[in-house]
Amino acid sequence: MDFRYDARTQELREKLSAFLDECVYPAEPVHAEQVAAAGDPWARPPVLAELKAEARRRGLWNLFLPDPRYGAGLTNLQYAPLAELTGRSPHLAPEAINCAAPDTGNMELLAEFGSEAQRERWLKPLLDGEIRSAFCMTEPEVASSDATNIATRIVRDGDSYVINGRKWWSSGAMDPRCEVFIVMGKTDPGADRHRHRHRHRHRQQSMILVPRDTPGVTVRRGMTVYGYTDAPYGGHAEIDFTDVRVPAENLVGAEGAGFAIAQARLGPGASTTACGWSAWPSGPWSCCAGGRWTGWRSAGRSPSRAWSGSGSPSPGSASSRPG
């Protein structure tokens, strides 16, 4: 396969590299100062909004979205090298160009499977970078790596669905701008191909949109990964859904389509997120010759904030994500 960059990829790589050099890297110390000064660990500092406005002005916006009606219309082959570049500033660059997980997968999901009303209500503000979203699949009670185990119930009741269950590891949900949850649960727990020829086990699940402010939704806590909260980058929340009632039209796609939608979402989303992380050896970790972590940049680009001295990354600092 030919992996050389085509003309469009090359042009976007040059524009994105210039944006990183001229705007994003210089904004990193400003971001760190604003995070330190903010009283709320989850508040996103004002410099991020400035970066987003500048990225949009430069035509670097929603590059991840393959559907040209909503995004740049790039193929995975064209987008992957761009995602790799944003990985050099993983906590600022992806969000600055509105290409940050989990919103990327959630926007793709809404673009591909959402109704017109759902796209208007949720996809539009996500595409504009005004709100954020979370994907609530994993549960504490079941082995969630096999999503057929997901046990949250989504029960039809007249013109509504009623949701009961507990989720955890819902990335982004600690961000106060996270206004909508895409929740996966079972609408037909009895579907089983051994007993019913047309009701396969993978048709038990559905996806439904739950606005964060719906009564019965409780964001219980932010989880930690090796002791790190991932603040202020949205974190990973444990969330209770107790008798949460939403209109029936909040269902995404058809009843029973949840498993297929999850597969469609996780395929490209996971690959392009991985492309971003693949840049770590050339970005944040490139200065790990042993020493104290004082910032994101490689020693070459910003010596004052390189890994310098002895010790280990400090948990809870703006630059503490272990990878």
Ligand X SMILES: Cc1cc2nc3c(=O)[nH]c(=O)nc-3n(C[C@H](O)[C@H](O)[C@H](O)COP(=O)(O)OP(=O)(O)OC[C@H]3O[C@@H](n4cnc5c(N)ncnc54)[C@H](O)[C@@H]3O)c2cc1C
Q: Is 106 in the site for ligand X (CB under 6 A)?
A: no
Residue 302: which of 287, 317, 312 has the closest Cα? Answer: 287
Residues 117-146 that bind ligand X (CB under 6 A): 135-138, 143-146
Q: Decide whether 145 or 310 has the Cβ nearer to ligand X.
A: 145
Give the CA distances from residue 234 to residues 106, 172, 222, 252, 291, in Å, rounded to whole numbers and listed in that order: 15, 4, 9, 24, 28
Q: Decide whether 72 or 207 has the Cβ nearer to ligand X.
A: 207
The least CB distance from residue 169 to ligand X, in Å, is 3
Q: Is 102 in the site for ligand X (CB under 6 A)?
A: yes
Residue 291: which of 320, 270, 319, 311 has the closest Cα? Answer: 311
Query: Residue 24, Cβ neighbours under 10 Å: how many?
Result: 23
Q: Is 236 in the site for ligand X (CB under 6 A)?
A: yes
The least CB distance from residue 271 to ligand X, in Å, is 15
Q: Measured at the alpha carbon of residue 272, what is the angle toward residues 182 and 93, in degrees to the nearest 5? A: 90
Q: Is 171 in the site for ligand X (CB under 6 A)?
A: yes
Contacts within 8 Å (CB) and 24+ apart, 284-293: 284/88, 284/90, 284/319, 285/323, 293/317, 293/319, 293/320
The least CB distance from residue 3 to ligand X, in Å, is 29
The least CB distance from residue 204 to ligand X, in Å, is 17
Q: Is 248 in the site for ligand X (CB under 6 A)?
A: no
Count of CA atoms in the C-beta half-sphere (13 A) of 35: 21
Q: Which of residues 78, 89, 106, 170 is near ligand X by CB under 6 A?
A: 170
Q: Is 169 in the site for ligand X (CB under 6 A)?
A: yes
Distant-in-sequence, close-in-space partners of 154: CB < 8 Å, separation ≥ 6 = 161, 162, 163, 183, 185, 186, 187, 206, 208, 251
The least CB distance from residue 265 to ligand X, in Å, is 10
Euclidean distance between the first and final Cα of the chain, in Å?
30
Q: Pattern 296-315, binding to ligand X, x per CB under 6 A?
A: --------------------
Q: Is 274 in the site for ligand X (CB under 6 A)?
A: no
Residues 177-216 that bind ligand X (CB under 6 A): none
Which residues bind to ligand X, rule: CB under 6 A?
102, 135-138, 143-146, 169-171, 225, 236
